[in-house]
Structure 1
Amino acid sequence: MQIHRAEENDWPEIAEIFLAARRTMTYLNAGLHSDAETRAFIRRMVKRSEVWTALHADGKIIGFAALAREADGNWLHHLYVDPASHNAGAGSLLLAITKKEMPQGFSLWTFQANLGARRFYERHGLTETRRTRGTNNEEGLPDILYEWRP
C-alpha cells in the first residue's frame, strides 16, 4: 500500500469511497444530501484541500484523508476508508501522514455514535477534548472533538 497526494482527477474515486463509507453509518440521515450533491462536494474538496490517498497495490484508491490549515488551527476534516478495505492498514497510514504533515497537532470531529472511529482515534493517541449535542453539525448528531498533540 502506498500513500500519495491526491490529484484533482482523483475526485470520482474519492467520492465513491465517501459514499460507500457513509452508507455503513446507519445513524446518519440518508436523505440529507443526494449522491450528486455529495460528489460535487468531494470534487470541490479535492480541488481546494490537501487530500492524501491510500492506494492498493493495484493502484486503486482505497482511502483518503482531507487536511486543512485554518485560522483556528489544523484540522483533519475527513478520513475514510472503503468499507471493503477496513482493517488492512490504510486508515493507520493516512493518520500517520496527517501527523507528519501537521507535526504541531490537529483536531477532528467524529460522531459519538461512530464507535469504530472513536476506538481507532484513541488507539492512535488522539484525546477526546469536548462533546456536543450536535447543534453545530448539519446532521444534528452528538459529536466529539478529538485532538492530537505531539
Structure 2
Amino acid sequence: MQKIELRLATADDVDTLTDVFLRARRMAMPYLPSLYTAAEVTYWLTHIVLPGSRLIVAHMADAGPMGFSAVRSGQLDHLYVQPCSQGCGVGTSLLADAMKNSPEGLRLYVFQRNTRAREFYQKNGFRLVELRQGSENEENEPDAVYEWRP
C-alpha cells in the first residue's frame, strides 16, 4: 500500500474537495437534509474554508484527493474521506496531523447519529463533553461535542 501524503489545499483542489464533502456526507449521514448545491459548497470551500482554516488534503502519489480536514482556532471543523478510501488510514492521518498542529487541543462537533465518526474520535483520544439537541446547527440534527487535550 502506498503512503498517504498530506499537503495544504489550494484553490485547484476545491472542485475535488466538493465531491469528497458531498459523497462522504451522503454515505455516512443519509438522514441529513441536502441544504446546498454543489456550486454553493464549492463557493463556501473557496471563499470561507480555504482562506479561514488550515485546510489539509490527503492523497497518494498516483491518486487525487482522498479526503480533507479543516482546523480553525482549535476547532476541527471538517474531516471528510471519500467513501472508497474509508478504512485505509486517510482519516487517521488527517486527524493525527490536526492534533499535531493543535498543541492546545481540539474541539469538534459531530452528529449524534453518526456513530462511526463518534467511535473514531473516541478511539483517537477525544472525550464527549456535551450532547446538544440540534438547535445550534443548520441541519437541526442533535449533535455531540468532543474535546481532545494533549
TM-score, normalised relative to structure 2: 0.93
CA RMSD between the two structures: 1.0
Show structure 1 runs of 5+ residues with no match: none
- Is residue 39 of structure 2 the alignment partner of residue 36 of structure 1? yes
1:110 is paired with a residue of what secondary structure?
strand
Identity rate, percent: 38
Residues 18 and 38 in structure 2, CA contact (< 8 A), matched pair in contact too: no
Segments of 4+ moved more than 4 angstroms: none
Aligned to 1:82: 82
Aligned match of 1:61 in 65, 74, 77? 65
Which segments of 5 or more consecutive residues in structure 2 lack a partner in the other structure?
A: none
Q: TM-score, normalised by structure 1?
A: 0.93
For residues 82-131 of structure 1, give each alpha carbon's deviation from its aligned partner in whole angstroms, at most 9, with x where no partner exists: 00100000000000000111021010000001011001000101000001
Which structure has the highest strand share of the two? 1
Q: Is the 8 A contact 2:58 2:65 kept in 1?
A: yes
Q: How many residues align?
A: 145
Q: Find the aligned partners of 2:52 and 2:71 in 1 and give their Cα distance.
A: 10
Q: Amino acid of the residue matched to residue 60 of structure 2? A: H
Deviations 1:2-40 (A, max 9, x none): 11111222111111100111111111012x212221121
TM superposition shift of 1:43 = 1.6
* SS of match in other structure, 2:66: strand
Partner secondary structure for residue 117 of structure 1: helix
Residues 15 and 43 in structure 1, CA contact (< 8 A), matched pair in contact too? no
